[in-house]
Amino acid sequence: MADGAVLLADRYAPRGAGPMPTVLVRSPYDRRGTFGLLYGTLFAQQGLQVVIQSTRGTFGSGGRFEPFDERDDGLATTAWVRRQPWHAGRLGMAGASYLGFTQWAAAAAAGDALAAIAPVMTASQFHGATYGGGLALESMAAWHAMVAVQERPLAPLRMTAALTRLRLAYGHLPLGELDLRFAGHAVPSFQTALASTEPDGPYWAARHHTADVAAVEAPALLVAGWHDLFTPWQLDDYVRLRRAGRRARLVVGPWTHVSEGMWATSTRETIRWLRGHLLGDPVPSARVRAYVGGAREWRDLRDWPPPDAHDLRLFLQPHGGLSPAPAEDSEPDRYRYDPAAPTPSRGGPVLLSRRPVVGNGPLEARADVLTYTTAPLEEALDAIGPVRVGLHVRSSLQHFDVFARVCDVDRWRVSRNVCDALERVTPGTADRAPDGTVTVAFDLWPTAHRFDRGHRIRLQVSSGAHPRYARNPGTGEPLATATRLVAADQEVFHDRRHPSALVLSVVPTPV
């Protein structure tokens, strides 16, 4: 590297191959074991030469590991590969999650030095997945807990133990002491991430590559999951590439971050993409391939968002209704959110979750969760695209959260989550109207889902989903040090002056 640090790597090549194109994989995790098998042996068996490198400060590589600071080392490594006698022709990159982020870190500045990239279940910036709306506590803390012990003896057992300790500690305050609970000592990377909340602060600004996505010349394959923690920002990356006229393909399946089906599909898609752009094989022509939940089918789309989509606005009604017609004058609905007994999370996009879609009955039975439900649908409705809510809320506090979740209620009245998100409201992010209300408008996770005939669409509204999101203490104190908890009395309005609504992107249902 430029500062003299030496990073270690393993090279895998087809038997008897001479100099040939190369796929670079940069990983902070063990470059052997599972990753060596998946990206090394398997790719080489499919005719691809691969270099798997341990990033700075991990698994024998020199220097200190600074999470997400990967641009300079990535560029230095691509230049190094191109100088090697065993490399000839084109260079690509591949990998999922952090391994995908390292591709974005290098790709914009690499120019035509990269012939293809394949970022899977990742995004060009990780601030959104960490602090989008509120702190994604469960995912963020779990990642740091695993990385803190991954190079110690008996690492798998230590990871299991650390995650168990973490689950038992989610109720502990202040959050700045969580690393003492899961690791037994201070974890500097956890402390830095917990204190670095602003996207334009010095920490995240140096690790934020979204502004450079449009400049990426390499054809990009993006593989995402509807229930992955990176999905909104990954789909934003695809839109930026398309608007800049870049070549890109998007595949979105019914997956969480660790779904077995995701690994199988993404590996097949990645090998086909890299063989196409490095070795000259045919590549898929469809720009977007998406799994439609509810219909349980894969569908090729012309683009994302679907160009033939239109907005369906469903207005909150008194007595828990949800309808295309604006509500008449009515009293607001009320609930009390107590961070000392926070509304729990159930399902949804979490780093280590394998079961994202669950029955929502236990949530919807709580006094701190409101529900708004349509009449049974007369025809099937395909919601494919962005999802958004605009809610008129009044709170007894200046600092509070709004969590919104769309559910599919079947003919047996079982409610299953489709997509959701949380938005944090502070005095600096929202203006209060003279009547004290605040308009809270935000995007939920995008979706591709069929609400079948006879089913109902339901919107949940609450003020938390703990421990998926860190609870809002209600005081405005910094997350790392807050210990005082204050309950909030919340009101959700739905009348002519306050037309709270859910907005779905709807496409024609295939005959």
**Whole-model pTM?**
0.96
Confidence at residue 285, expressed as pLDDT on a 0 to 100 scale: 87
C-alpha span between 360 and 354 (Å, rounded)? 16
pLDDT for residue 405 is more than 80: yes
State both tokens at 485.
Answer: 């908890």
The one-letter code for the residue type at 60 is: G
Q: Do 451 and 416 contact (CB within 8 A), yes or no?
A: no
pLDDT band at 283 (very low <50, low <70, confident <90, very high): very high
C-alpha span between 469 and 463 (Å, rounded)? 10
202-251 pLDDT, tens per residue? Answer: 999 989 999 999 999 999 999 999 999 999 999 999 999 999 999 999 99
Beta bridge partners of 120: 96, 223
pLDDT for residue 111 is more than 90: no
* Distance, first Cα to last Cα, the chain: 57
Q: Do 502 and 314 contact (CB within 8 A), yes or no?
A: yes
Q: Is CATH 1.10.8.50 the right assignment for the domain spanning 310-507?
A: no
Confidence at residue 429, expressed as pLDDT on a 0 to 100 scale: 83
Q: Do 263 and 37 contact (CB within 8 A), yes or no?
A: no
Confidence at residue 91, expressed as pLDDT on a 0 to 100 scale: 98
pLDDT for residue 435 is more than 90: yes
Beta bridge partners of 402: 423
149-200 pLDDT, tens per residue? Answer: 999 999 999 999 999 999 999 999 999 999 999 999 999 999 999 999 988 8
Q: Which of 21, 83, 84, 22 is nearest to 52 (CA)?
A: 22
Report the 10 Å Cβ neighbour count for 200: 8
Task: Name the residue ranges covered by the structural domains of the chain.
Answer: 1-126+213-285, 136-196, 310-507
Whether the CA torsion 206, 209, 212, 217 is positive or negative: it is positive
pLDDT band at 326 (very low <50, low <70, confident <90, very high): very high
Mean per-residue pLDDT of the chain: 96
Q: Do 450 and 438 contact (CB within 8 A), yes or no?
A: no
State both tokens at 477.
Answer: 């104190």
Q: Which CATH architecture describes the domain 1-126+213-285?
A: 3-Layer(aba) Sandwich (3.40)
Element containing residue 312 per DSSP (H, E): strand 310-316
Confidence at residue 428, expressed as pLDDT on a 0 to 100 scale: 81
Tell how far CA 176 is from the center of its chain: 23
Q: Which of 314, 135, 330, 300 is nearest to 229 (CA)?
A: 135
Report the 10 Å Cβ neighbour count for 45: 12
342-375 pLDDT, tens per residue? Answer: 999 999 999 999 899 999 999 999 999 999 999 9
DSSP string computed for 242-304: HHTT--EEEEEES--TT-HHHHHHHHHHHHHHHIIIII-------SEEEEEBTTTEEEEESSS
CA distances from 258 to 93, 137, 228 (A): 21, 18, 9
Q: Which of 244, 246, 463 is nearest to 340 (CA)?
A: 463
Q: Which of 9, 213, 20, 256 is nearest to 117 (CA)?
A: 213
Q: Do 142 and 352 contact (CB within 8 A), yes or no?
A: yes
Confidence at residue 431, expressed as pLDDT on a 0 to 100 scale: 83
pLDDT for residue 511 is more than 80: no
**What is the percent of the chain with per-residue pLDDT over 90, rounded to a whole number?**
94
Q: Using CA atoms of 115, 116, 122, 124 in order, give the dihedral in degrees to the nearest 10.
A: 30
Q: Do 120 and 104 contact (CB within 8 A), yes or no?
A: no
State both tokens at 410.
Answer: 């079947």
C-alpha span between 231 and 40 (Å, rounded)? 26
The answer for residues whose C-beta is within 8 angstroms of residue 432's C-beta and 6 or more apart is 438
State both tokens at 160.
Answer: 């299991």
Q: Do 312 and 324 contact (CB within 8 A), yes or no?
A: yes
Q: Any idea what DSSP says for residue 41?
A: I
Question: What number is the average pLDDT over the span 107-133?
Answer: 94
Confidence at residue 354, expressed as pLDDT on a 0 to 100 scale: 87
pLDDT for residue 104 is more than 90: yes
pLDDT band at 108 (very low <50, low <70, confident <90, very high): confident
State both tokens at 174.
Answer: 């202040």
Diameter of the chain measured on Cα atoms: 77
Q: Any idea what DSSP says for residue 39?
A: I
464-475 pLDDT, tens per residue? Answer: 999 999 999 999
Q: Which of 449, 461, 361 is nearest to 412 (CA)?
A: 361
The beta strands (E) that lie in 378-414 are given as 381-395, 400-409
**Count helices and strands in the chain by DSSP H and E runs:** 13, 21
